[in-house]
């Protein structure tokens, strides 16, 4: 189709889902109990870590929201849908955006979590992002005007960026990126010089958050041999989980896992991987929503004992979106995550790959693999102020639009959005209403924890 044809498709979609209709939210009469939805995810998680998962979720309404992607997915399935499809993140909340080191060693800003990615309605990502901003701002006790300004900044940033991408050449969209050198001038125009310097210092510090830093923080030397240092329940060596009496060939099995996973990498990167040897492996708890899923870190050494590489092997399960948009076309959920990430991100980890891995009991689970730390930087949402949050929200909106423009019909989506703020205002209404729903769900979960119906504690 011509650009004009594609724009007409977008405008026609307004009759199917008027932009103002996105502002409505009311729970369905048969809406599932949120605690039941969360507990329905326990079957593929490590039971002993579930109390830690719920403990982290119940810190605040925002942490609950982070872990309740499955709850919101079911709710979004009943909201208006333009029919325009993209590769969605599936969990595009505020804390899943940040900076990391690209293969070219630039600090780029992008989405950094794709556990739920799948082709689906682009509106769902926008609504999850906008609602997360409203909840985060409310958690910080911002005024109503400040909450609205930050939320609108994300949606307006998305709409304006999508209109810009609609006018760009295909290859220009593919190469579009945002790095720290581009981000700092935006901050300088809105923040004090002291604030900008603090951000620049944190970004600079993040560049040192790599395998060398992880080696310093996460290992110890015992009898002259380096190994992962136990810090239960967050980090536990696999050898200790298996027990001293186990005859399981841990090292040999890890080496076989990594050889199989290496087949999902480009040949040159596989060659680099094979220049490292496995030293140790441990179970490391990460995030909020991911707690309880199987997540391992592998300590590897290259040229000598001062040349470490930490890989993270993270379990991938079915996306929470699949019951509503259909099953993934990939048989391996790890491949679903990796392929979605490569499609949406400007630059991905050189060791990003996948495999299906058996455990000591012979059970197989899908995994994706990446470096544990590679210059990762995130904004401190516990201390952020109104103006920085508004700037950050705008950047997140631009980033999400760029990710969607790479996989969907950016011209049709831009035409649907238009140049006015009708869609923006509707999403603000939705975000505020769903933030109240999240508050209610959080209260239900807290009550369940207090009654003992939901296990809460440090886990093991």
Residue 206 has pLDDT above 70, yes or no: no
In angstroms, rounded to a whole number, what is the distance separating the alpha carbons of residues 460 and 63?
21
In angstroms, rounded to a whole number, what is the distance separating the alpha carbons of residues 150 and 145?
9
| Banded pLDDT at 191 (limits 50, 70, 90) | low
pLDDT of residue 299: 94
Please state, for a pLDDT cut of 70, what percent of the chain lies above it. 93
Is the Cβ–Cβ distance between 152 and 420 less than 8 Å? Answer: no
pLDDT of residue 36: 96
**pTM beyond cutoff 0.85:** yes
Mean pLDDT highest for which of 200-209, 215-224, 366-375?
215-224
- Residue 126 φ/ψ, nearest 5 degrees: -65, -45
Q: What is the mean pLDDT of the chain?
A: 91
Please state, for a pLDDT cut of 90, what percent of the chain lies above it. 72
Residue 320 has pLDDT above 90, yes or no: yes
SS3 349: coil
pLDDT of residue 97: 93
Could you read off the pLDDT of 254-312 as tens digits, one per residue? 778 888 899 999 999 999 999 999 999 999 998 888 888 889 999 999 999 889 999 99
Residue 192 has pLDDT above 70, yes or no: no
SS3 292: coil
Q: Please give the full DSSP string across 107-148, using - where no structure is assigned.
A: EEEEE---TT-EEEEHHHHHHHHHHHHHHHHHHTT--HHHHH
Q: Tokens at residue 240, please?
A: 């200790």
């Amino acid at each position: 189709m011509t650009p004009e044809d594609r724009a007409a498709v977008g405008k026609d979609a307004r009759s199917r889902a008027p932009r103002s209709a996105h502002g409505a939210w009311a729970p369905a009469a048969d809406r599932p109990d949120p605690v039941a939805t969360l507990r329905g995810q326990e079957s593929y998680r490590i039971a002993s870590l579930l109390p830690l998962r719920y403990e982290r979720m119940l810190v605040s309404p925002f942490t609950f929201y982070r872990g309740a992607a499955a709850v919101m997915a079911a709710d979004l399935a009943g909201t208006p849908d333009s029919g325009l499809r993209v590769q969605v993140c599936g969990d595009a909340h505020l804390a899943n955006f940040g900076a990391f080191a690209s293969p070219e060693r630039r600090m780029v800003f992008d989405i950094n979590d794709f556990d739920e990615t799948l082709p689906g309605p682009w509106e769902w990502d926008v609504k999850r992002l906008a609602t997360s901003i409203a909840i985060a701002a409310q958690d910080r006790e911002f005024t109503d005007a400040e909450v609205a300004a930050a939320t609108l900044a994300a949606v307006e940033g998305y709409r304006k960026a999508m209109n810009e991408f609609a006018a760009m050449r295909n290859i220009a969209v593919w190469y579009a990126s945002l790095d720290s050198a581009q981000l700092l001038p935006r901050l300088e125009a809105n923040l004090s010089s002291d604030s900008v310097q603090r951000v620049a210092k944190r970004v600079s510090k993040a560049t040192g958050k790599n395998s060398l830093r992880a080696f310093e923080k996460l290992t110890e030397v015992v009898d002259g041999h380096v190994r992962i240092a136990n810090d239960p329940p967050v980090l536990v060596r696999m050898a200790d989980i298996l027990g001293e009496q186990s005859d399981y060939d841990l090292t040999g099995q890890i080496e076989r896992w990594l050889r199989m996973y290496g087949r999902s990498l480009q040949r040159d990167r596989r060659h680099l991987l094979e220049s490292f040897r496995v030293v140790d492996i441990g179970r490391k708890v990460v995030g909020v929503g991911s707690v309880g899923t199987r997540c391992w870190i592998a300590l590897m050494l290259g040229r000598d004992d001062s040349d470490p590489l930490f890989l993270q092997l993270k379990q991938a399960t079915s996306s929470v979106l699949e019951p509503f948009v259909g099953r993934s076309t990939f048989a391996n959920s790890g491949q679903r995550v990796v392929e979605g990430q490569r499609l949406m991100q400007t630059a991905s980890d050189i060791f990003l790959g996948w495999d299906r891995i058996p455990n000591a009991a012979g059970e197989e689970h899908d995994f994706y693999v990446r470096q544990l730390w590679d210059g990762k930087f995130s904004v401190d949402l516990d201390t952020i102020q109104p103006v920085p949050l508004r700037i950050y929200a705008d950047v997140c909106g631009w980033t999400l639009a760029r990710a969607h423009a790479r996989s969907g019909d950016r011209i049709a989506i831009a035409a649907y959005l238009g140049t006015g703020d009708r869609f923006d205002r509707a999403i603000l209404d939705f975000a505020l209403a769903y933030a109240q729903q999240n508050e209610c769900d959080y209260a239900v979960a807290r009550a369940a924890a207090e009654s003992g119906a939901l296990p809460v504690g440090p886990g093991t």
